[in-house]
C-alpha cells in the first residue's frame, strides 16, 4: 500500500491485511494525533487495509 505520512513523505509498504490501528502502531504514530483516509475518505481505526490501498495520514492541529 502507498502511505502518505504526516511529514509529506510517501512510503510503499507491503504489510498484507492490517487495520489502521496496526499500521499506526507499526509506524509509531499516536492515533489521537492523526486522521487516516483511504481514497479521500476518513476511516476509523478498525478498518482493514490491503496492499492496493492509498492511505493518507494527516496530522491533527489543536489550538485556538
> What percent of the chain has pLDDT above 70?
98
Q: What predicted TM-score, i.e. pTM, was given to this entire model?
A: 0.89
* CATH classification of the domain holding 14: 3.10.20.30
Q: Give the number of domains in the chain.
A: 1
Domain that holds residue 55: 2-59
Nearest to 19 by CA among 38, 45, 57: 45
Cβ neighbors of 2 (< 8 A, separation 6 or more) are 10, 11, 12, 13, 53, 54, 55
Contact by Cβ (8 Å): 39, 49: no
pLDDT tens per residue, range 9-45? 999 999 999 999 999 999 999 999 999 999 999 999 9
Residue 64 binned pLDDT confidence (cut-offs 50, 70, 90)? low
Amino acid at each position: 500500500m502507498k502511505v502518505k505520512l504526516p511529514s509529506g513523505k510517501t512510503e510503499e509498504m507491503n504489510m498484507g491485511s492490517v487495520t489502521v490501528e496496526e499500521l499506526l502502531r507499526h509506524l509509531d504514530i499516536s492515533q489521537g494525533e492523526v486522521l487516516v483516509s483511504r481514497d479521500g475518505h476518513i476511516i476509523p481505526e478498525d478498518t482493514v487495509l490491503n496492499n492496493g490501498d492509498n492511505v493518507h495520514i494527516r496530522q491533527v492541529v489543536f489550538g485556538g
